[in-house]
Amino acid sequence: METLVSTHTTAAAQHPTRNTQDTLVGLGAAELARRIAAGETSSAAVVEAHIARMEAVNPALNAAVVKLYDQARAQAKAADARQGQGLPLGPLHGVPITIKECLDVAGTPSSFGLPSRKDARVAADDVYVARLRAAGAIPLAKTNVAQLLFYYESDNPVYGRTNHPTHPDRSPGGSSGGEAALIASGASPLGLGTDLGGSVRIPSAFCGITGLKATAGRFPDSGRGSVAWGQRAIASQVGVLAPKVADVTLGLRVMEAGRDNAVDPAPALGDPARIDVAGLHVAYFEDDGVFAPAPGARRAVREAAEALRRRGVKVTAWKLPDGRAALDLCGALLFGDNGAGFRALLGKDKAVPQLKDLMALSRLPGGLLALLRSLLGAIGQQGMAENLGIFGQADAAEYWRNVEAQSAHRERFTRALDELPGGPADAILCPPCALPAFTHGASRDLVTAGIYAILFNLLGWPAGVVPFSKVRPDEEIGRATTRDKVGSTARKVEQGSAGLPLGVQIAARPWREDMVLALLAVLEAEGETGPRV
């Protein structure tokens, strides 16, 4: 791990009392901001407690990879002085936060897990980091990522592998896995991540926290270290991860502040407190027809549907239309250049195993890929054959056709919701991922397990995840023994998964983040999440 600044301080500051640490860590940003503003604690005490917690848990996690402790202490001191002078306070005044490594923080690298970029310092903050700073937030560390942000683990040659906060043999997910692991461990009360295909929501689900990706275009990610930036049909969005729905709501509010409506004309965020969930219509599905979910994932959705029904929500079981077509479209759009953008970014850097196969296969001509797909299916490797379906064709005309097909898919999807018995659905409830937290390395085979999340990137709809339950001992095996490599890897992930968090996902129509947040808050109150580590 890389430390950019010295961390010398007094012994008392290095080791705050256990009582202080226990009182302050594990709280969300909203509660910490309230306590600091009320004078119940100081920013210095909050920052010091979170540094102590981070230093206690990070050796096992390897989640905080760029530490900003000295700057954070100086900023906390300045925040307390500002408060002492009676000056106006921002909504995140004095609250420590963490930032995904790919998002720019002035004076630090944004390497995306590439050794060739590990020493390049950026000159200025990302726009959303700057907005959180302007609201009084204090960056404490940058957090680990998947190399090139393109698989559901956080592992790269620059910083190494991040571990799950309660199961070290498993991953916290990716690509925002470092964020999720620290927040779940009480070392951060709020963090920024990015989400192109579930990279905020899947780590949140794996680690038992809350995360949200907004409508496409509300918080666009300007980073240029993952899928070719010119690919705008499925565009990465900056999102928020936090312990509770109230913290995510606060983070989104702050991210929106300072927006130039002439440049960014997205509708203003609605207020979830104004949403009366009684009478809303929610469609739910357990299985997308592409990747069979684990038993616990199915149960969590059923129980979440029942919880919403108890709160007066109209709930309708729904069969997802065209799940396989959605998966194929995602691949065709994201790999429309046959991986040329990835290979250019990678350059001479070594790819981690999770990307190595993708890089090699992306070079194959479309006809050869189709033949290989058929051969894999013929020998019982249907899962691997489906994995190959993510590759598109390096042809601009084909890409335009796929963008048109994406628009048609959105129209069919919306029409199916509009034609539900009982009237149009306002929102959707489903799993965020087919499986609980992956064992290390499993994402190499489980390329399609995250289709439940990436579906809403394809649609451009807002979607969030909240912890709702945990895997039970009798849910550790949900699929039969098989020769299929993808199926056998999924079976191994299920084994030993008892006690892992199970999140549920809520999505709504474009610009209705307020509805997503209101429904997530109901499920948060109804869920059996249990204590965090």
**DSSP conformation letters of 211-278:** EEE--TTTSB----SSS-TT--SS--EEEEEESSHHHHHHHHHHHHTT--TTT--PPPPP-GGG---T
Q: What is residue 393's predicted lDDT score, i.e. its pLDDT?
A: 66
Q: What is residue 533's predicted lDDT score, i.e. its pLDDT?
A: 38
pLDDT of 32 higher than 50: yes
The answer to whether 182 and 142 are in contact (CB under 8 A) is no
pLDDT of 14 higher than 50: no
Around Cβ 176, how many Cβ atoms within 10 Å?
35
As separate numbers, helices (DSSP H) first and strands (DSSP E) second, the chain gives 19, 14
Q: Who has greater pLDDT, 519 or 322?
A: 519
The answer to whether 391 and 329 are in contact (CB under 8 A) is no
The answer to whether 149 and 194 are in contact (CB under 8 A) is yes
pLDDT in tens, 226-261: 887 888 999 999 999 999 999 999 999 999 997 877
- Band (18; pLDDT cuts 50, 70, 90): low
Q: Which of 41, 103, 50 is nearest to 72 (CA)?
A: 50
The answer to whether 3 and 72 are in contact (CB under 8 A) is no
As annotated, the residues of the chain forming the CATH 3.90.1300.10 domain(s) are 2-323+410-526
Q: Which amino acid is at 186?
A: G
Strand 427-430 and strand 281-284: pairing?
Answer: parallel
CA gap 67, 3 in Å, rounded: 5
Q: Which amino acid is at 397?
A: A
What number is the average pLDDT over the span 51-62? 98
The token duo for 330 is 């995602």
Q: Is 500 helix (H, G, I), strand (E, B) or coil?
A: coil
Please state the φ and ψ torsions of residue 97, each to the nearest 5 degrees.
-135, 170
The answer to whether 466 and 503 are in contact (CB under 8 A) is yes
The answer to whether 24 and 54 are in contact (CB under 8 A) is no
Give the percent of the chain with pLDDT over 70.
93
The answer to whether 319 and 428 are in contact (CB under 8 A) is no
pLDDT of 490 higher than 80: yes
Q: Could you list the active site residues?
A: 100, 175, 199
CA gap 249, 390 in Å, rounded: 33
- Cβ-in-10-Å burial (0-12, 13-18, 19+) of 429 comes to buried
CA gap 439, 494 in Å, rounded: 9
pLDDT in tens, 73-105: 999 999 999 999 999 999 999 999 999 999 999
Q: Who has greater pLDDT, 21 or 468?
A: 468
Q: What is residue 371's predicted lDDT score, i.e. its pLDDT?
A: 76
Q: What is residue 10's predicted lDDT score, i.e. its pLDDT?
A: 35
- Band (213; pLDDT cuts 50, 70, 90): very high
The token duo for 145 is 């990522």
pLDDT in tens, 102-129: 999 999 999 999 999 999 999 999 999 9
Helices (H), 340-429: 340-346, 353-361, 366-378, 382-387, 396-418
In order of 41, 203, 485, the CA distances from 323 in angstroms are 50, 22, 21
Q: What is residue 364's predicted lDDT score, i.e. its pLDDT?
A: 72
The superfamily (CATH) of domain 2-323+410-526 is Amidase signature (AS) domain (3.90.1300.10)
The answer to whether 54 and 141 are in contact (CB under 8 A) is yes
CA gap 432, 427 in Å, rounded: 14
- Band (19; pLDDT cuts 50, 70, 90): low
Q: What is residue 12's predicted lDDT score, i.e. its pLDDT?
A: 37
Q: Which of 483, 527, 525 is nearest to 502 (CA)?
A: 527
What number is the average pLDDT over the span 13-21? 53
The answer to whether 492 and 442 are in contact (CB under 8 A) is yes
CA atoms within 13 A on the CB side of 294: 36
Q: Which amino acid is at 33?
A: A
CA gap 102, 110 in Å, rounded: 5
Q: What is residue 370's predicted lDDT score, i.e. its pLDDT?
A: 75
pLDDT in tens, 398-421: 899 999 999 999 999 999 999 999
Maximum Cα–Cα distance across the chain: 74
In order of 219, 270, 317, 487, 497, the CA distances from 511 in angstroms are 11, 8, 24, 37, 36
- Band (390; pLDDT cuts 50, 70, 90): low
Please state the φ and ψ torsions of residue 359, each to the nearest 5 degrees.
-65, -40
What number is the average pLDDT over the span 283-311? 97
pLDDT in tens, 144-189: 999 999 899 999 999 999 999 999 999 999 999 999 999 999 999 9
pLDDT of 428 higher than 90: yes
The answer to whether 452 and 289 are in contact (CB under 8 A) is no
Q: For the chain, percent helix, then strand, then coil, each to nearest 5?
A: 45, 15, 45
pLDDT of 290 higher than 90: yes
Q: What is residue 378's predicted lDDT score, i.e. its pLDDT?
A: 74
